Amino acid sequence: MEELLASPERCAGILQNRLVANMFFEASTRTNQSFQAAANRLGAKILVFHPQSGSGAKGESFSDTMRMVDGYSDAVIVRHPCEGAARLAADVCEHPVINAGDGGNQHPTQAFIDLYTVRKLKGKVGGVKVVLFGDLAHARSMHSLLYGLSMFKAKITLCSPPGLGMAEWMVEEARRKFGAKVAIEKKPDLSSADVLYTCRVQKERFGSPREADAAQAAFRVSKKLLEGANEELAILHPLPKVDEIDAEVDSDPRARYFEQAKNGVPVRMAALAMCMRGFGREGKGGRRVPGFSCKNQSCISGIEKAHWGWAEGAGLRVRCRYCERPAG
Ligand code: ASP
Ligand code: ASP
């Protein structure tokens, strides 16, 4: 797709006359704009949605809104503040649904961008040493990247402020399902790291903003942190950055986040084209587990009263169909 961008006419034939619904129920600049850019480049048309003036404001359920828009379009992109919202949308829609971020859960297309950026910069993902640095508890881009890096056999180090570590069940799943090599460190060793991936403290997911500010102040990418770091290090960030990276780091040649953001368009073009041309449909693996009630307060299942447990394969724990958090 990146090469195709040089031939706008060829690009514009790929999804010509198709219609994509862009359903953003939560603030977004980059993801929203880059999906719109991607759809436009591919020749698709876009239905734009304004949550303030939508029927949600009149009390319509999320699943009804999704069902309806599915009837108007050929694919649905959804961002929502509740975890599991994209899965619920996929269950009620006939057309492909792309998760553009579901609360603090996952942000898979961001992980595609991150993996693609690592591969472009380092020539591969397997064996590359990546430090995930920051609020690993709430940052959905970190969650998706953990899985993506694990699938491609990167060497992963997790480093977070106290209390903001990656959920144990996610780390355990990455290890068990994908054989991930994950180390957990208090301080990152950047002398041999290939990638330092950081992210803002996700203030909107904290009970107290003051707590978020304190966590951020103690955990920043500064010139000092980079003393002795690998000369070839790539510093990545999904953006927006607030003050977790010192301004002077922006001019360090190792800061590659603006380049990373630019990869958003070709990567999202690929995601749209693959979904809308029939690739990548989820298999029907797993089985329904009756009588399941998700305990995650941020999960869509509570609001939409969609309680559905799910178990895949032999010996795997039962988890919520939507936010995927395991029972218990
Ligand atoms: N939430 C961020 C923004 O507003 C990034 C994104 O949209 O993914 O830009
Ligand atoms: N853009 C990313 C997201 O939407 C990261 C962030 O907002 O901090 O999750």
Q: Which CATH class is domain 108-251?
A: alpha beta
Distance CA 74, CA 95 (A): 6
DSSP letter at 187 equals: S
Catalytic residue check, 210: no
Ramachandran angles phi, psi of 222, nearest 5°: -125, 170
Distance CA 19, CA 106 (A): 25
Tell me what the mean pLDDT of segment 216-232 comes to.
93
Q: Which residue, chain included where needed, has tokens 């949550």?
A: 51
Q: Which residue did the predictor score with more confidence, 141 or 277?
A: 141
Same fold, 4-103+264-276 and 108-251: yes
If you measure from the C-alpha of residue 30 to the centroid of ligand 1, how many angstroms do you get, rounded to a whole number?
A: 5
CA 65, distance to chain mean position in Å, is: 23
Ligand 2: list residues with CB < 6 Å: 101, 107, 110, 140-141, 199-200, 238-239
Closest atom, ligand 2, to C-alpha of 141: 9
Is the confidence at residue 130, as pLDDT, over 80? yes
The dihedral of CA 165, 170, 175, 178: what is its sign? negative
The pLDDT value given to residue 93: 96
Is the confidence at residue 282, as pLDDT, over 60? no
The pLDDT value given to residue 123: 97
> Is residue 297 in contact with ligand 1, taking CB distance under 6 Å?
no
Q: Spell out the alpha helix ranges (H) of 218-311.
A: 257-262, 264-276, 300-304
Helix, strand, coil: what percent of the chain each, to 5?
40, 20, 45
Residue 214: band (very low, low, confident or very high) from pLDDT cuts 50, 70, 90 = confident
Residue 286: band (very low, low, confident or very high) from pLDDT cuts 50, 70, 90 = confident
Cβ atoms within 10 A of the Cβ of 128, count? 21
Multiple choice CATH, 4-103+264-276, 3.30.2010.10, 3.40.50.2000, 3.40.50.1370, 3.40.640.10: 3.40.50.1370
- The alpha carbons of the chain give a radius of gyration, in whole angstroms, of 20
Tell me what the mean pLDDT of segment 3-9 comes to.
92
Catalytic residue check, 237: no
The pLDDT value given to residue 40: 97
Angle between helices 30-41 and 264-276 (to 10 degrees): 60
Mean pLDDT for all residues in the chain: 92
Hey, where are the domains in the chain?
4-103+264-276, 108-251, 287-320
If you measure from the C-alpha of residue 236 to the centroid of ligand 2, how many angstroms do you get, rounded to a whole number?
A: 13
- Out of 107, 140, 143, 268, which one is annotated catalytic? 107
Catalytic residue check, 120: no
Q: Which of 1-10, 25-34, 150-159, 277-286 has the highest mean pLDDT?
A: 150-159
Is the confidence at residue 75, as pLDDT, over 90? yes
> Is residue 31 in contact with ligand 1, taking CB distance under 6 Å?
yes
| Ligand nearest the Cα atom of residue 238 | 2
> Is residue 99 in contact with ligand 1, taking CB distance under 6 Å?
no
If you measure from the C-alpha of residue 101 to the centroid of ligand 1, how many angstroms do you get, rounded to a whole number?
A: 9
Catalytic residue check, 268: no
If you measure from the C-alpha of residue 201 to the centroid of ligand 2, how many angstroms do you get, rounded to a whole number?
A: 10
Distance CA 155, CA 50 (A): 41
Tell me what the mean pLDDT of segment 277-291 comes to.
68
| Ligand nearest the Cα atom of residue 32 | 1
Contact 228, 208 (CB under 8 A): no
Give per-residue pLDDT as tens, 76-100. 999 999 999 999 999 999 999 999 9
